[in-house]
Chains A and B, each alone.
Chain A
Amino acid sequence: EAQVTQNPRYLITVTGKKLTVTCSQNMNHEYMSWYRQDPGLGLRQIYYSMNVEVTDKGDVPEGYKVSRKEKRNFPLILESPSPNQTSLYFCASSLSRTGGSYEQYFGPGTRLTVT
């Protein structure tokens, strides 16, 4: 089944404790992206990747890191999480290298709480 998977689905952590949220897709998509969803703000793009080893900032990259060492995986790293990073995170992938021309397939979301 074609899908985007994220792990963990739920995470409660403390300020400053490094964490990684994994994202994997099995559709051989070139484009992947991370978003955070907050009430009243919709989805805001954190980082995106056009292909392996090619990443770029979205609108809210501060406090996050990403890497794209292989095509199927695009982990999101929070080196020192803070409470303002409490949010619902979505990973998405898309077939096209350009990203904008094809629909994005979204993962199930990861609900992160930082205390």
Chain B
Amino acid sequence: AQSVSQHNHHVILSEAASLELGCNYSYGGTVNLFWYVQYPGQHLQLLLKYFSGDPLVKGIKGFEAEFIKSKFSFNLRKPSVQWSDTAEYFCAVSTTDSWGKFQFGAGTQVVVTP
């Protein structure tokens, strides 16, 4: 069975700093990859997704992620964070041979200080 690991559980950084959140998955086949964000008191919402094609994907709010197949990684980046990026971030994976099943990482709580 596939699994997803997120390297950091808590990240604290100042406004304008760069953010990178790590995500690794364990599965040898074709995967679909997602990053979701949960702002305080709000629903989870999709930041970006990768299915195929260009391994560098851009999402909403200035976020991007890079799929590196050889490293089984899908790291999330933002060059300059804002206070409003304070949220919990989840990496998720689904596979083409198990449609409908999703694995989420444990999440990374990001706090951006003014």
Contacts and interface: CB of A to CB of B under 8 A. Distances in A.
Interface string B7-26: 00100000000000000000
Contact of A58 (B45, B101, B105, B107): B101
Contacts of B107: 42
Nearest to A35: B104
A65 interface: no
Contact of B100 (A40, A43, A48, A108): A48
Contact of A100 (B6, B43, B96): B96
B106 A103 contact: no
Contact of B106 (A40, A101, A104): A40
- Using C-beta atoms within 8 Å of the partner chain, give the interface range for chain A: 20 to 34
B99 A50 contact: yes
Interface string B38-53: 0000011110010100
Contacts of A41: 106
Contacts, number: 64
Given A98-B99, A99-B94, A42 B43 contact: no
Contact of A103 (B43, B46, B95): B46
Contacts of A68: none
B32 interface: yes
Interface in A56-89: 56, 58-59
13 contacts: A40-B106, A42-B4, A42-B90, A42-B104, A43-B44, A45-B101, A50-B99, A56-B101, A59-B1, A90-B44, A100-B99, A103-B46, A106-B45
Q: What are the 8 tightest A-B residue pairs by CB atom distance, in nearest-first order?
A: A100-B94, A43-B104, A103-B46, A99-B100, A42-B106, A106-B44, A42-B104, A98-B99
Interface of A: 31, 33, 35, 40-45, 48, 50, 56, 58-59, 90, 92, 98-101, 103-104, 106-109
